[in-house]
A = this chain, B = another copy of it.
Amino acid sequence: MKTITAETITIGDEILYGQIVDTNSHFFSVALDKAGVKVVRRTSVGDTRNAILNALHAAEQTADIVLITGGLGPTKDDITKKLLAEFFDSEMYSDEAVLQHVTDLFTSRGRAMNDLNKLQAWLPKKCKVIHNAVGTAPGMWFERNGKVFVSMPGVPHETEKMFTEIILPKLRQTFQLPEIVHRFIKVINIAESALAELIEQWEDALPEHIKLAYLPSKGQIRLRLTAMGASASVLHQEIDEQIEKVKPLITKYVYAYGEDEIEQTVAKLLLAQGKTIATAESCTGGLVAHSLTTIAGASKYFLGSAVVYSNAAKADILGVNPDTIEEFGAVSEETARQMAKFARQKFKTTIGIATTGVAGPDGGTPEKPVGTVWIAYADENGVSAKKLSLTKDRILNINMTKNFILNYVRIKLLGGDADALVR
């Protein structure tokens, strides 16, 4: 089956100057990917003749489908429309149905229409007009030499509705599109290069039609398997088989085969096991609690957190022994252990976890440099603790500690060897 390719062109000075975020490009990427169309380039240009014409010519060389947004509407002087007429060597005409629609929209909103608004109905003869149910600027569909060009408004909700309801079904009629199946493997607590080494042989043995991508973000990596073919059910089965093969190599680093984030994985395990959790947080400052409570229904397993930033609070709120802090310091195994134990006791939960560390940028010492963190975990079997050596970056350290401790909880809940984790 021939791969169908697409390019998107988003038009607008406000994108180039960073005044608005170009959400249309990302929307098209996601929607086309799901539909089995391969996006090969995204371009953003300003509201100028040469830039737009160059982009159209370049796209015609590159892709089967060209999706264009922006540069429509009276305040833009309808530049995209005029240039598309020029590009396709088309005369313009005033479309009765569009004029009626624009008139109706203004009437229903109780607003007066001006001459500029009437120009919305002025369109290239060679396009098929696409109805805009929620706005005044119509879409335009052009075909030339087996390629399709579609121009849509710049306003995201107008474009998204028009694309989903009209354009995508028309593209499916025009082109024969393959099935595409994606699956994530979400990996934590391992460097990209070490992971690549672990799975190198498996990756090299993947069949031609299944691709692997590495998508790293703050302290974790998402692996994405993408399979393309004629039958979705066959592709799902093939991906399942590949996942079974790779599992033994990386199981202790994987927290989800699918869409879940680490906090959702932990939440599901807690719910399934009927367990509850509380946190005692120093260096993470409430982020572990916040991440667990972004999930709807969190109150079923999350009972609370003591964010004990000061030494006095560690003693007064949680009951940490002031002598322990005095002797070993706030950032120490002993303090972390007591924090976890007392979090569990105070909140009356199955599990208590604790973080205490030097997030930075200041506060480091030769023995405890910035990035030194102790985490601890308490349950009915006792308390365990772990030292982490992280980075010099405050925000990254806070996030990496959150990810590490949630993964530690995950492995404990699964009965695995959480203490084998290193960071």
A286 at the B interface (CB under 8 A): yes
- Interface mask (A297-315 → B, CB under 8 Å = 1, otherwise 0): 1110011111111101100
Contact A25 B44 (CB under 8 A): yes
| Chain B neighbourhood of A293, CB < 8 A | 285-286, 307, 309, 359, 398
Q: How far is the CA of A303 from the CA of B281 in the complex (A)?
A: 12
Contact B296 A303 (CB under 8 A): no
| Chain B neighbourhood of A389, CB < 8 A | 108-110
A residues 187-221 touching B (CB-CB < 8 Å): 191-194, 196-197, 213-218
In chain B, what residue has the closest Cβ to A161? Answer: B393
Contact A422 B285 (CB under 8 A): no
- Interface mask (A260-301 → B, CB under 8 Å = 1, otherwise 0): 000000000000000000110100111111101110111100
Q: How many copies does the complex hold?
A: 2
Q: Which of B196, B290, B316, B392 contacts A286 (CB 8 A)?
A: B290
A20 at the B interface (CB under 8 A): yes
A33 at the B interface (CB under 8 A): yes
Contact B304 A117 (CB under 8 A): no
Contact A116 B196 (CB under 8 A): yes
A352 at the B interface (CB under 8 A): no
- Central interface residue in A218, A310, A360, A393, by most chain B CB within 10 Å: A310
User: Which stretch, A10-18, A84-92, A162-170, touches the partner chain B?
Assistant: A10-18
Contact B40 A75 (CB under 8 A): no
A348 at the B interface (CB under 8 A): yes
| Chain B neighbourhood of A131, CB < 8 A | none
Contact B14 A224 (CB under 8 A): yes
Contact B347 A316 (CB under 8 A): yes
| Chain B neighbourhood of A155, CB < 8 A | 216
Main secondary structure on chain A at its contact with chain B? mixed
Contact B285 A290 (CB under 8 A): yes
| Chain B neighbourhood of A303, CB < 8 A | 309-310, 312-313
Contact B39 A29 (CB under 8 A): no
A341 to chain B, nearest CB (A): 15
- Interface mask (A26-46 → B, CB under 8 Å = 1, otherwise 0): 111111110000111111111
A73 at the B interface (CB under 8 A): yes
Q: How far is the CA of A40 from the CA of B12 in the complex (A)?
A: 10
**In the complex with contacts A42-B16, A75-B192, A75-B214, A299-B306 CB distance below 8 A:** no
Residues on A lying within 8 angstroms of B by beta carbon are 13-22, 25-33, 38-46, 51, 55, 58, 73-75, 108-112, 114, 116-117, 134, 155, 157, 191-194, 196-197, 213-218, 222, 224, 226, 278-279, 281, 284-290, 292-294, 296-299, 302-310, 312-313, 316-317, 346-348, 359-362, 389, 391-396, 398, 422-423
A sample of 5 inter-chain contacts (CB < 8 A) reads: A22-B25, A286-B289, A293-B307, A303-B312, A304-B306
Closest CB pairs A-B (n = 10): A285-B293, A286-B286, A18-B29, A286-B289, A18-B30, A305-B307, A304-B313, A42-B44, A286-B290, A16-B39
